[in-house]
């Protein structure tokens, strides 16, 4: 079995693949500093909770946008799983061509999203990840990553509201009954959710105009992606495990023998 790890700014999302099928997934918060022993114990316990023995993990791959946790995370895999993981980084074989002036500046998570979307759903494809940031990345029919857009994520926007406006409370992010809020909480929810829907539809439309294509698939992932994808016809597919699937496909391209 292969352990795939997506280390993001908010959560570390892990998936276990067995013969190309994802058989378990779980999350760990990123914000808390942890030692390699803590990561090792957490990973071992969560695997066992999913009825997977740590000894069943034959190899691992990490896709990270959080450099300061990498030493502890790699140490945990070495000490508790006896694995030297593959790292998704510049120069690794991915199957897509980064056709931008500075390929090294493209985040590993965005590369994984692009690989997953292109290989599973085909191109041209616009992959949208509703994470800490909301990212939009375009891959053409031939598998070239041509560019993208980065916007504040819904949670970042919400946090800015309740931290910078004294009378606005911390709220649950969900779609309200209607766009016209009847109180402070529903008006905030309306602005956050419908504002994100409007942004999404506008960017999708402008991308199609700029590249001159109408047949672009739009594939969405990320924790809040389901809320947005359910509210607009501009999105074709919601795949909550797209990043992990992309990381796994990058792993397979390395042709590394598992123990």
pLDDT in tens, 143-200: 999 999 999 999 899 999 888 887 888 888 888 989 999 999 999 999 999 999 999 9
* Average pLDDT of the segment spanning 100-119: 93
pLDDT at 259: 53
pLDDT at 129: 96
* CA–CA gap between residue 49 and residue 52 (Å, rounded): 7
Point out the catalytic residue in the list 18, 59, 84, 109.
109
Intra-chain end-to-end CA distance of the chain, in Å? 10
The beta-carbon contacts of 15-21 under 8 Å, at least 24 apart in sequence, are 15/241, 15/244, 15/245, 15/247, 15/248, 16/47, 16/50, 16/52, 16/57, 17/244, 17/248, 20/248
pLDDT in tens, 20-58: 999 999 999 998 889 999 999 999 999 999 999 999 999
| Confidence label for 256 from pLDDT (cuts 50, 70 and 90) | confident
Q: Is residue 113 flagged as an active site residue? A: no
User: Could you tell me if 130 and 225 are in contact, meaning their C-beta atoms sit under 8 angstroms apart?
Assistant: yes
pLDDT in tens, 220-235: 998 889 999 999 999 9
Share of the chain above pLDDT 70, in %: 99
Share of the chain above pLDDT 90, in %: 80
* Its pTM surpasses 0.75: yes
């Amino acid at each position: 079995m292969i352990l795939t790890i997506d280390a993001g700014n908010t959560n570390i999302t892990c998936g276990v693949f067995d013969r190309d099928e994802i058989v378990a997934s779980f999350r760990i918060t990123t914000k808390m500093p942890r030692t390699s022993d803590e990561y090792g114990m957490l990973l071992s316990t969560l695997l066992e909770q999913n009825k997977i023995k740590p000894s069943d993990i034959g190899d691992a791959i990490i896709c990270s946008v959080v450099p300061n946790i990498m030493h502890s995370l790699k140490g945990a895999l070495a000490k508790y799983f006896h694995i030297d993981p593959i790292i998704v980084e510049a120069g690794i074989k991915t199957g897509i061509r980064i056709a931008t002036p500075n390929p090294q500046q493209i985040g590993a998570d965005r590369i994984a999203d692009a690989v997953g979307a292109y290989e599973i759903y085909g191109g041209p494809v616009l992959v949208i990840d509703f994470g800490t940031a909301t990212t939009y990345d375009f891959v053409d029919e031939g598998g070239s990553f041509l560019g993208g857009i980065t916007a504040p994520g819904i949670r970042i926007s919400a946090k800015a509201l309740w931290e910078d406006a004294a009378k606005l409370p911390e709220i649950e992010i969900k779609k309200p009954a209607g766009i016209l809020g009847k109180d402070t909480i529903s008006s905030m929810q309306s602005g956050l959710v419908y504002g994100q829907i409007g942004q999404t539809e506008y960017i999708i439309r402008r991308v199609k105009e700029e590249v001159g294509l109408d047949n672009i698939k739009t594939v969405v992932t990320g924790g809040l992606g389901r809320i947005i994808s359910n509210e607009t016809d501009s999105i074709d597919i919601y795949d909550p495990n797209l990043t992990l699937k992309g990381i796994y496909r990058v792993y397979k391209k390395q042709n590394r023998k598992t123990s």
